[in-house]
Structure 1
Amino acid sequence: MRLTLKALCASVIQSTLLYVTPAAHASEVEVLHWWTSAGEAKAASVLRAGIEQRGHQWRDFAVGGQAGISAMNTLRIRAISGNPPLAAQIKGPEITEWARLGFLRNLNDIAEAEHWEDKIPAPLRDVMQYQGDYVAAPINIHRVNWLWINLRAFEDAGAAIPHDFESFFTAADKLQQAGYIPLALGGEPWQVATLFDTLALSVMGPEHYQQAFLDFDREALLSDGVTKSFSLLAQMRPYTDSDNLGRNWSDTTRLLIDNQAGMQVMGDWAKGEFLAADQQEGKSFTCVAVPGTEQAFSYNIDSFVFFKPNNAEERQSQTDMAEYLLTPQFQRDFNRYKGSLPIRFDIPLPNGDTCAEKSRQAFLYAEQHNTLSPSMSHGLSTTRYVQSAIFDVINEFFYNPKQTPEEATQALYRAILSAQA
């Protein structure tokens, strides 16, 4: 389903986020984003400092919650009112949707002057373009399929770091017996979907995963692989805690930091939370790929679009920001706090950051073997309309033990078919 003006208006009527601010002054750069956790806030401060060093006034427009869904609802309101921010964090197919509606500034002049073709990995350039024109600036690469390990809990429980699902459940049993939450999982729809997403990548492999969740191929969606993924999700249900409903992802990561939980499946933005809490990789925490995905790479990309400016001064402030995003200084400092890989692979990784090193090697392997997988749960493989339908099915299954994996597989196919209509 495409994002249309009619859909935008409907979202305004339905939304409770009736928040409209005055238009930004010409010297201001109003930036919409959803970086509100401890690690994310540190990363955002790097962007703010760079904007201000270039003589512009940063106007923060942070809307946290639901992995950007709240921010996008608010953006639609602003756009319909004729008052969009100068810059907004948008990613995946939604970039195309906004460009199709004519809201976005063409960035070809900046891309050419700054040699983006040489700096952005080839498989990721198309995500930033609409009809061959650059309309978004990428910042980083997140790997989604990580399993985060609280090493203190594992040592206390006598558990071994899992390398397959059999050893995962063995470790989970030991953690549970020792009084820990084996698997920290926040009860927001996107977090449950992230867990299912990584399980599907593991069970189905990158090729069949992409057929199901990028191409939405009927045979792939109704395959045993999807059913087995639901079965595996059900197996993990007893190892989560009952107080998870509505808990955000960073508070869920905090359970590992505070030594209450043993594991979490989450993208590498979780690493930013560990580091913000002065946790040391290799002593307090570590990372391993979700079992079965060691050589797979499910990716999420943070990127910014720039809404068409009203005057030359606004245009210059956007240009300065877009140019800054791919500078070595920004790429190094921002991604150190965010936990992600720089979009530029000529930027050295922080010393001792083995998670980043493993992530980069996994990306290069997946790029070489054509198995990079845009994450369904993080909006890289489809629009939010289809994604929302998928979330509903996954969460209904997770919180309804009476539903069978076979029933969930059929429900998933029907939901995607309906959302695409």
Structure 2
Amino acid sequence: MAIPAVSAADIVVYHNWASPAELAALNVLRGALEAEGNHWLPLAIPHDADGDMNVIELIDAGVPPNVFLQLQPDIYRSLEQRGQLLHLDEQFAASGVLQQLPAVVRNAITVDGAIVKAPATIHADAMIFYNRAVAKAAGVDPESWTSLDEMWADLDKVQAAGFDPIAMGAQPWQVGYLTHALVASLAAPGVYAGLYGETVDAAVLDDPSLIKVFEWLRRFQQRADDKAINRDWNMATSAVISGKALLQLQGDWMKGEWHAAGKAEARDFGCIFVPGAAHVPVTVDSWGLLGGVSPEVEAAERAFAAAVVDVTVQAHFAAAKGSTPVRVDAHGGIDACSRKVLQALDRPDFALPTPHLTATLGWVASVWDVANDFWNDPAMTPTTAIAALKAKAER
């Protein structure tokens, strides 16, 4: 494995992953780093925890991590202004890894023309994973659905067969992800990009297709059971794996949970994009690295970045995480679900970057606030929700 030789150093690793599959993937990376003599010191705050913080807040609190799992470009711009950001342009160019990264990955790790992230995953934010045995028992074929309406029409059959149609978690971040999945799937051309760009295009807030997005968000809310509000995403996945529910609409990180349970795609589960989706949002989970540290620690940070994109590490990491490898030369052993993700990347204008790669932290939080208010207040109308978005955009 081509990782620079370095003196041993302690590396504080900040992340928000907590599920068994996520932790298994991190252990792949940890093993590669510690094989070089460095020491991985975890700083973990799960993404559904009330104490979730971004790296700027951690630095200001006196707890600076060396590497951090963060996507938002405004974080990297702030670190650049502070002189606290490690650049990877020369390192990645010299190693030849850039030639192995798809355009969507190169774009995701580049902020204002500089490569400042080490890419870990390719994920589709909006996929449906379903239990094949439940589908068969209920007499439905998810692969045949061409629209959300067709999917919804089959859910009563699933209920009548004794299964929950949809397994959902209604934590704030999960409602937020469902919202941008619906915007990508249902909104008119240009609305997703206008809503989740670096600056908000106020015109898209008047597009009538946003009404449809909130109407569908309400339909999902009405399908949720009374325990959904506190349910972790992987617990919802478990309900599908165990055969209690037919499907879950989430990111394709669900696949890691299926693999951890010993399940196989061809035999146990299937995966589809949202039926009839106009677009699919894509996440490239990436690690930033803190600059301005000692030469020994910087060398260890660069060893971390090299390990993240190493072809062997990528293959094992993706298998554990349920992701698609970021390197094209690591795609030889991928499964059918990852092949669908790669095909989505090849479709013109179909795959769009997750809002976390384009919008500001504050605006993503604002959209989440409105979506969660809407979810938790059945009397709130789509028109009222859009008015709330407009008010936040004008601030």
TM-score, structure 2 length as denominator? 0.91
Task: Describe the shift of the 1:232–1:163 C-alpha distance in structure 2 as closer, same or farther (beyond 3 A).
Answer: same
1:348 and 2:327 are equivalent in the alignment: no
Task: Tell me if the contact between 1:331 and 1:342 (Cα under 8 Å) persists in the aligned partners.
Answer: yes
Task: Tell me if the contact between 1:136 and 1:303 (Cα under 8 Å) persists in the aligned partners.
Answer: yes
Task: Tell me if the contact between 2:172 and 2:372 (Cα under 8 Å) persists in the aligned partners.
Answer: yes
Output the CA distance in 1 between the equivalents of 2:162 and 2:83. Answer: 55
Partner of 1:239: 223
Output the CA distance in 1 between the equivalents of 2:257 and 2:162. Answer: 23
1:230 and 2:210 are equivalent in the alignment: no
C-alpha displacement of 1:206: 5.3
After TM superposition, the structure 1 = structure 2 runs for residues 261-280 of structure 1, keeping only pairs within 5 Å, are 261-280=245-264
Partner of 2:129: 148
1:90 and 2:70 are equivalent in the alignment: yes
The residue type paired with residue 183 of structure 1 is I
1:122 and 2:103 are equivalent in the alignment: yes
Instruction: Choose from 179, 184, 189 the match for 1:196.
Output: 179
Partner of 2:4: none
Partner of 1:327: 310
Instruction: Choose from 366, 374, 380 the match for 2:353.
Output: 374
After TM superposition, the structure 1 = structure 2 runs for residues 306-325 of structure 1, keeping only pairs within 5 Å, are 306-325=289-308
Task: Tell me if the contact between 2:344 and 2:351 (Cα under 8 Å) persists in the aligned partners.
Answer: no
Task: Describe the shift of the 1:230–1:30 C-alpha distance in structure 2 as closer, same or farther (beyond 3 A).
Answer: same
1:220 and 2:204 are equivalent in the alignment: yes
The residue type paired with residue 272 of structure 1 is G
Task: Tell me if the contact between 1:86 and 1:309 (Cα under 8 Å) persists in the aligned partners.
Answer: no
C-alpha displacement of 1:99: 2.7
Question: Which sections of structure 2, spanning at least 5 residues, go unmatched?
Answer: 1-6
Task: Tell me if the contact between 2:344 and 2:350 (Cα under 8 Å) persists in the aligned partners.
Answer: no
Task: Tell me if the contact between 2:9 and 2:38 (Cα under 8 Å) persists in the aligned partners.
Answer: yes
Report the 3-state secondary structure (helix = DSSP H, G, I; strand = E; otherwise coil) of the residue aligned with 1:341: coil
Output the CA distance in 2 between the equivalents of 1:210 and 1:116. Answer: 29
Output the CA distance in 1 between the equivalents of 2:293 and 2:125. Answer: 37
C-alpha displacement of 1:273: 0.7
Partner of 2:3: none
The residue type paired with residue 114 of structure 2 is D
Provide the aligned C-alpha RMSD in A. 2.1
Partner of 1:282: 266
1:62 and 2:41 are equivalent in the alignment: no
Q: Deviation digits for residues 256-304 of structure 1, max 9, x if unmatched?
A: 11222111111111110111111221322111110122x7331111111
The residue type paired with residue 68 of structure 2 is A
1:181 and 2:164 are equivalent in the alignment: yes
After TM superposition, the structure 1 = structure 2 runs for residues 44-55 of structure 1, keeping only pairs within 5 Å, are 44-55=26-37
The residue type paired with residue 217 of structure 1 is D
Output the CA distance in 1 between the equivalents of 2:210 and 2:177. Answer: 14
Task: Tell me if the contact between 1:29 and 1:59 (Cα under 8 Å) persists in the aligned partners.
Answer: yes
Partner of 1:410: 387
Instruction: Choose from 366, 377, 380 the match for 1:389.
Output: 366
Task: Tell me if the contact between 1:221 and 1:409 (Cα under 8 Å) persists in the aligned partners.
Answer: yes
Report the 3-state secondary structure (helix = DSSP H, G, I; strand = E; otherwise coil) of the residue aligned with 1:100: helix
C-alpha displacement of 1:76: 3.9
After TM superposition, the structure 1 = structure 2 runs for residues 8-23 of structure 1, keeping only pairs within 5 Å, are none
C-alpha displacement of 1:55: 1.6
Instruction: Choose from 10, 24, 42 the match for 2:24.
Output: 42
Output the CA distance in 2 between the equivalents of 1:415 and 1:213. Answer: 14
C-alpha displacement of 1:208: 2.8
Task: Tell me if the contact between 1:87 and 1:307 (Cα under 8 Å) persists in the aligned partners.
Answer: yes
Task: Describe the shift of the 1:322–1:206 C-alpha distance in structure 2 as closer, same or farther (beyond 3 A).
Answer: farther
Output the CA distance in 2 between the equivalents of 1:211 and 1:113. Answer: 36
Q: Deviation digits for residues 382-418 of structure 1, max 9, x if unmatched?
A: 1221111111111111221111111112212222332
Partner of 1:250: 234
C-alpha displacement of 1:71: 4.2
Q: Deviation digits for residues 180-206 of structure 1, max 9, x if unmatched?
A: 221211111111122222222121255
Report the 3-state secondary structure (helix = DSSP H, G, I; strand = E; otherwise coil) of the residue aligned with 1:346: helix
Output the CA distance in 1 between the equivalents of 2:92 and 2:238. Answer: 39
Q: Deviation digits for residues 308-348 of structure 1, max 9, x if unmatched?
A: 25322112111111112211101111111111111112222
Q: Answer 1 or 2: higher relative contact order, Cα 8 Å, separation at least 6.
A: 2
Partner of 1:109: 90
Task: Tell me if the contact between 2:17 and 2:47 (Cα under 8 Å) persists in the aligned partners.
Answer: no
The size of the alignment, in residue pairs, is: 385
C-alpha displacement of 1:123: 4.0
Task: Describe the shift of the 1:116–1:146 C-alpha distance in structure 2 as closer, same or farther (beyond 3 A).
Answer: same
Instruction: Choose from 336, 340, 345 the match for 2:319.
Output: 336
Partner of 1:5: none
The residue type paired with residue 234 of structure 1 is R
Output the CA distance in 1 between the equivalents of 2:62 and 2:292. Answer: 12
Task: Tell me if the contact between 2:105 and 2:326 (Cα under 8 Å) persists in the aligned partners.
Answer: no
C-alpha displacement of 1:132: 2.5
The residue type paired with residue 386 of structure 1 is W
C-alpha displacement of 1:128: 2.2
Q: Deviation digits for residues 108-163 of structure 1, max 9, x if unmatched?
A: 33122123432332344343234422221112211112011122222222222133
Task: Tell me if the contact between 1:341 and 1:356 (Cα under 8 Å) persists in the aligned partners.
Answer: yes
C-alpha displacement of 1:48: 0.5
Task: Tell me if the contact between 2:194 and 2:201 (Cα under 8 Å) persists in the aligned partners.
Answer: yes
